[in-house]
Structure 1
């Protein structure tokens, strides 16, 4: 009996390290461990074949590795490689169908057979265990391996992190209309409006028309700046001093939505109307105070500090606070879309503050210009403080004037790049920055660049296009960026060969099958044996989304998961694939950010040894949409026929 008990305890100690067994009560797991079958496999020994009747057990790799392959004998393709702790052969447990793949020992291996009859009651009474299998984490299970919705649900549900102080960003903000609906008509005098505000102890008064639709808003700030300063008489009508138009929002919005609107429009009041538009009656006003009460660490405060700080030397400390906020958001499962918007607003505020500081030092710009963010910041995806990617376009003028203006803008860009570097954003190793004369040019030069890249799609041209096509105007005269965009889209339609070449360029990074195996990690150099999540997993989706949105003539949308969302609406027949791709990309963004924060780096290179089994399985599931999207590119642009 003792040897049997010793084996049972060894099996128990092993199983409880890995999902889904770590989700099972200790007593139940011990009973299960006592019935496990231990099986030794020699190299290349076949455990089961594709089409075989399922065994009475499903398997867990105890030692060594097992290949799963599909297809005819002479054309078998690798589906997965299962290593220590991986579950496979789960069709016997869930579907009661013949095996869909062949399992072969890739080396000497020891596997545990878990009796399905004993495990079934656990599966059906433990939602977390069921979720594990529903997400496709068991290799060869009958569910769709790329089901990102189930994968993401499982990633959150099976996480060991428990929030101590939830951020409530998904909470609904409700209004007390008795206190937050203070109105007057446009004919009301400033004197009377101020009296009403005082009587109601309100920081605002809404100006409405006869149907109670919002016309404008008068705030304490308006009164101080325009009336008390002596610019207007207190007997003038409120229409002379009010701010218009009013930014509106629908009733009972989520906190995240309200917060983003306030940050984006640099306001402290949102007008709530019956349908969220300015064409329906007002119901009240949401103020920044509501948000501050609901959420202690408000990113709007950080943005305001960046905009209003008197010393440029204060910016690094403020940006450090944003990093702490990012960590908190990631840990508490705030949506990536919201996090990306918040961090983009903070980064943009830094750039604008740095530009205004540089202008104050150098004097008024000699020509109109527009600062462009490119790369991940251009796509609103730069969660971590990775390297800078930016450019500058200024208006056309005479040659001598352009030369003089470029000298000014290069110095301006150098100062901005220096400020951003002090805030933790390293200089771009490839010098893709506005302080590089190549990327600080008048509009006609940028037009020439894009003309050459589109009409002569060399490898270098395609690389530049993949970087600069994601530009986003941040500060200055946005019409310059708009003119460039119009030109680019016009010429893409003229030169039909460009998109197929760009699609071919997007296929340069083949999707990894199983990133923890040696053949896809870096083989040498500083990052030997590490997985490059940016190049091997994220870049293929970024590149594919760019090509497909250009093909659909979608302008003004750079963000990768927003691009996929637009594509899903435009191509209903591919909506499922695009939604899977968007969700896979969000999971990768979250994982890279957490890895970077944990290791105090860019998060680009991941050490597989630092990942637990659940993290490996989650990331592995995100690879399926990559191959599916790349296959779509291959077919749509007929790349097999492209030289």
Structure 2
């Protein structure tokens, strides 16, 4: 082989390891490699300067590193550092403008110059290659509006997975041929006969306009009629379940699954507009969904709810982990995955509480179990440690201590069940089994009053944990009363939100030397990147502050908070949407890392990430600084002592 051919083979072998070149058919890439120019740069040698006319080629670092700097020559600002496999100098390819930065070799560096004239046709013919540049993966490339959406789409397209589950697909079910209805005055006997004749597990009860008013199922007949509570000659209205859970025609599989899980039903009534005010078009049953999807999360939830022995819960919950793995590998929407895992985890908590009540006897007072932390935000994809609390109603009978003793023991039983299911106990003891976090409503109001009135560092830390509470079981009105009190008091104490915003800025954007992740310098996780503390927490904290400022109740989830903020503050909609998408991508990265390493996924080894994965994560860090700058300006934190 001639030296020239050997060089071309080395260039080809290198390029096909890295995006976007690994997306190009090998024959086209070989022709491109033949024209690549190899260039050696001495330390501090300038390849091009800010304002220069673009070269006829863009560059790829083969070995070494290149600094990209902007600003006047005497006060240049470092904007990026390119290492092996990074693409830079692509403005000639994309923006057709002069260079916006100066490229200088940080050490002895070998770069490949890729001819723009040869690459331009590839860029226009390959959507995947175009998306790579649109997503902002090329160093120093012009940042484009909606780049986080492009990043998400690029990650999806370049992600190699098996056949997807198509949870976002429309359910192809012949609902018009699945109508079994009767009028409200129909007898139970006649309705049961019609169900038997049509081999149907249900009967929809409709009014004169064919609007649904109730549903009669096999289960209703067994529980209320066969058991002897009603006569077969009574009207179906005496035994039917109402109101009916309705859905619009042609729903997505994901939407139907979540409705069934949340409402604990096996039938969804399809109406003209999805409400109970329009005519019935058919019924979707759990059987339809089982046929559409192999491993149905609704079945897991049902098994958790119905198992007679809590000793069975760990093995059932293990199956949910297998489901999570499949969803992530097949690139299912993170929003859907988070909803599914939340429903499963909530079912687990409820079953554990029912078990504890059976062991201890009837609760002495009404109470509400609160999930806090990531589970409170509906973001606990992996089985990380527990974070929960309990609030019970105030009593003035002198039996407060007796009631608290019951609820503390109840909570401890629940904490034990959850621990057996793989949810470790919180190292900081932020659990309902800790008497401090198992209190009557008045005490909880006092906690939040003190945290808001005197925002010390400890108070702000507690507030950042407990403000994300979500009622899971019991008397939800207790949580609603607490929420109303908190928002009313925050409006009175104007100093609290600025201090909470300042607390949210404690973690700076997680790139130290631009192209290198900030990693732990020592200890058990040395050289690992803490994605929870350094990347996710800043967005979680910012979303919480902004949600409180906007009096946004009933929404704890971080990316849903940002999505809602985008509608409340149209002037900042673009930034909030970027932040929401960035957080979703981080959640996926953490979950995949946790499943791969059999841990919480919190500490990621950057060396194990592919070039595209590192670029994707770096892109998600960009909205952090923008959101933090917004907090800085809005709450005038420069003037806060």
TM-score normalised per structure 1 = 0.97
Specify the alignment match of 1:579 in structure 2.
Answer: 577
Work out the CA distance in 2 between the residues paired with 1:467 and 1:228: 50
Specify the alignment match of 2:245 in structure 1.
Answer: 247
Other structure's SS at 2:584 match:
helix
Alpha-carbon offset, residue 177 of structure 1? 4.3
Matched, 1:295 2:290: no
Shift in CA distance, 621/145, structure 1 to aligned 2, threshold 3 Å: farther
Query: Residue by residue, what CA displacement relative to the aligned partner does 1:532-591 show, whole Å, maximum 9, x if unpaired?
Result: 111111111111111111111111110011101110111111111111110110011011
- Structure 1 gap ranges (5+): none
Aligned length: 641
The aligned runs of 1:136-147 (5 Å cut-off) are: 136-144=136-144, 147=147
Query: Residue by residue, what CA displacement relative to the aligned partner does 1:114-152 show, whole Å, maximum 9, x if unpaired?
Result: 111221122222222111111111111224287111111
Specify the alignment match of 1:417 in structure 2.
Answer: 415
Aligned mate of 1:276, from 274, 281, 285: 274
Work out the CA distance in 1 between the residues paired with 2:75 and 2:579: 28
On the 8 A contact 1:214/1:282 being kept in 2, the answer is yes
Work out the CA distance in 1 between the residues paired with 2:102 and 2:342: 47
Specify the alignment match of 2:539 in structure 1.
Answer: 541
Specify the alignment match of 2:216 in structure 1.
Answer: 218
Specify the alignment match of 2:226 in structure 1.
Answer: 228
On the 8 A contact 1:217/1:242 being kept in 2, the answer is yes
Specify the alignment match of 1:99 in structure 2.
Answer: 99
On the 8 A contact 2:383/2:600 being kept in 1, the answer is yes
Work out the CA distance in 1 between the residues paired with 2:28 and 2:56: 19
Work out the CA distance in 2 between the residues paired with 1:480 and 1:536: 34
Alpha-carbon offset, residue 515 of structure 1? 7.8
Work out the CA distance in 1 between the residues paired with 2:75 and 2:438: 53
After the TM superposition, which of the residue ranges 104-113 and 621-630 deviates more from structure 2? Answer: 104-113
Specify the alignment match of 2:426 in structure 1.
Answer: 428
On the 8 A contact 2:370/2:471 being kept in 1, the answer is yes
The aligned runs of 1:389-468 (5 Å cut-off) are: 389-398=387-396, 400-468=398-466
Work out the CA distance in 1 between the residues paired with 2:220 and 2:397: 45
Work out the CA distance in 1 between the residues paired with 2:176 and 2:257: 23
Work out the CA distance in 2 between the residues paired with 1:255 and 1:517: 40
Specify the alignment match of 1:14 in structure 2.
Answer: 14
Alpha-carbon offset, residue 441 of structure 1? 0.9
On the 8 A contact 2:80/2:514 being kept in 1, the answer is no
The aligned runs of 1:471-490 (5 Å cut-off) are: 471-490=469-488
Specify the alignment match of 1:619 in structure 2.
Answer: 617
Work out the CA distance in 2 between the residues paired with 1:266 and 1:345: 11
Alpha-carbon offset, residue 241 of structure 1? 0.7
Other structure's SS at 1:93 match:
helix
The aligned runs of 1:78-477 (5 Å cut-off) are: 78-144=78-144, 147-161=147-161, 163-164=162-163, 166-177=164-175, 179-398=177-396, 400-477=398-475
Coordinate RMSD, CA, aligned? 1.5
Work out the CA distance in 2 between the residues paired with 1:235 and 1:472: 45
The structure 1 segments of at least 4 consecutive aligned residues displaced by more than 6 Å after TM superposition are none
Shift in CA distance, 145/185, structure 1 to aligned 2, threshold 3 Å: closer
Specify the alignment match of 1:513 in structure 2.
Answer: 511
Query: Residue by residue, what CA displacement relative to the aligned partner does 1:405-449 show, whole Å, maximum 9, x if unpaired?
Result: 111111111111111111111111111111111111111111000
Work out the CA distance in 1 between the residues paired with 2:512 and 2:151: 16
Work out the CA distance in 1 between the residues paired with 2:513 and 2:313: 39
Alpha-carbon offset, residue 232 of structure 1? 0.5
On the 8 A contact 1:80/1:513 being kept in 2, the answer is no
Shift in CA distance, 64/178, structure 1 to aligned 2, threshold 3 Å: closer
Work out the CA distance in 2 between the residues paired with 1:193 and 1:418: 47
Specify the alignment match of 2:523 in structure 1.
Answer: 525
Shift in CA distance, 74/364, structure 1 to aligned 2, threshold 3 Å: farther
Work out the CA distance in 1 between the residues paired with 2:25 and 2:346: 49
On the 8 A contact 2:38/2:111 being kept in 1, the answer is yes
TM-score normalised per structure 2 = 0.98
- Structure 2 gap ranges (5+): none
Work out the CA distance in 1 between the residues paired with 2:294 and 2:539: 36
